[in-house]
Amino acid sequence: MPIQAIEPRRLYRQIADQLRQLIDSGEFAVGDRLPTERELADQLGISRPTVREALIALEVEGRIRIRVGSGIYVTEQPVPEIHLRSAVEGPFELLRAREFIEGAIAAEAALHVKQSDIDAMDDVLRRMESTHHPSKFTLGLDREFHTTVAAILGNAVLVRFTGELFDQRINPYFERLSSYFENKDSWKTAMDEHRVVRDGIAARDPEKAKTAMREHLRQSQLRFSRNFGERAAAVEVAE
């Protein structure tokens, strides 16, 4: 038998696997309430964002249900059972990678930007302002802004790579996670952050452009953490 590459298992997937095994073994029966996010993080010795990623993975599979003001409950095993084996990277890992990569792209874009590029960014921003979020259409505009920035460098590989990184969030896992934190307010905040990126590039200031792009993606990470944490906190307060 040929030697096969070993797939590195992300921590959130290990936690999801452990919780799934506890459910399958009867440690937690259908209808039982799981420990809170905070309790799981303490017991497992890991961060709460990692627990959130694992819980969302299990919720997408249909193994648990998170109920606001009540708790996290075990549900009937779905048929056919869905496992997110293809979702290798968690959202925080992906956003951290984008923060570094797209920050560098924005800095370089500021050195090569032309008026037509600024016009293209402005066109995307105008269309973003006239839409209601969240929807697949607004998600597409978000993607278009980031690929428009990459296109300033005139390198098709970078444009495709930026788009592919963004596209990793277009799956049931990210859709479920986004439902916890994306709303009209978060969309407005994100648009304001996009404008700062645009201004840094238009000013032909590499440092300002890089800082703005990295801050935008860093704030995206915080929005995932803060708002899902508020949901978890609401559950804990109700106990």
Same domain, 22 and 53: yes
Does a structural domain hold residue 117? Answer: yes
Of 46-50, 201-205, 210-214, least confident by mean pLDDT is: 46-50
Same domain, 65 and 177: no
Does a structural domain hold residue 5? Answer: no
Where a domain ends, among 44, 74, 104? 74
Where a domain ends, among 49, 74, 99? 74
Q: At what angle do helices 172-181 and 206-237 cross, to 10 degrees?
A: 80
CA pair distance 64, 83, nearest whole angstrom: 13
Q: How far is CA 184 from CA 116, 146, 169, in A?
A: 30, 20, 19
Tens of pLDDT, residues 7-46: 445 788 888 899 999 998 889 999 999 998 889 989 888 8
Does a structural domain hold residue 158? Answer: yes
Same domain, 137 and 192: yes
> Which H or E run includes 64?
strand 64-67
State the sign of the Cα–Cα–Cα–Cα dihedral 8, 11, 17, 18.
Answer: positive
> pLDDT value at position 226?
58
Q: Are 231 and 180 in contact (CB under 8 A)?
A: yes
Q: Are 28 and 22 in contact (CB under 8 A)?
A: yes
> pLDDT value at position 134?
65
> pLDDT value at position 2?
55
Q: Dihedral through CA 22, CA 28, CA 30, CA 35, nearest 10?
A: -110
Same domain, 124 and 212: yes
> pLDDT value at position 238?
35
The answer on pLDDT for 91 being more than 80 is: no
Position 88 confidence tier, pLDDT thresholds 50, 70, 90: low
Q: Are 138 and 132 in contact (CB under 8 A)?
A: yes
Does a structural domain hold residue 39? Answer: yes
Q: Nearest-CA neighbor of 144 among 156, 127, 132?
A: 127
Q: Nearest-CA neighbor of 190 among 141, 136, 123?
A: 141
Same domain, 18 and 112: no
Does a structural domain hold residue 103? Answer: yes
More confident site: 221 or 158: 158
Number of domains in the chain: 2
- The predicted model scores a pTM of 0.69
Same domain, 23 and 122: no
CATH of the domain at 37: 1.10.10.10
Calculate the CA 104 to chain-centre distance. Answer: 20
Same domain, 65 and 97: no
Same domain, 220 and 113: yes
> pLDDT value at position 133?
65
Residue located via tokens 């968690």: 90
User: What's the whole-number mean pLDDT along residues 140-151?
Assistant: 96
> pLDDT value at position 89?
66
The answer on pLDDT for 192 being more than 90 is: yes
Average pLDDT, the chain: 83
CATH of the domain at 108: 1.20.120.530
Tens of pLDDT, residues 123-139: 999 999 888 766 778 88
State the sign of the Cα–Cα–Cα–Cα dihedral 22, 10, 167, 216.
Answer: positive
Buried residues in 200-213 as b, exposed as e (16+ CB within 10 A): bbbeebbebbbbbb
Residue 185's domain spans which residues?
Answer: 91-237
Position 4 confidence tier, pLDDT thresholds 50, 70, 90: very low
Does a structural domain hold residue 140? Answer: yes
Does a structural domain hold residue 210? Answer: yes
Same domain, 103 and 70: no
Annotate 204-235 with DSSP letters as a single string: T-HHHHHHHHHHHHHHHHHHHHHHHHHHHHHH
The answer on pLDDT for 235 being more than 50 is: no
Same domain, 106 and 214: yes
- Phi, psi of 72, deg, nearest 5: -115, 120
Q: Nearest-CA neighbor of 106 among 151, 71, 62?
A: 151
> pLDDT value at position 126?
95
Does a structural domain hold residue 80? Answer: no
Same domain, 120 and 208: yes
The answer on pLDDT for 233 being more than 60 is: no
Beta-bridge mates of residue 66: 72
Same domain, 145 and 172: yes
Of 80-84, 87-91, 220-224, least confident by mean pLDDT is: 80-84
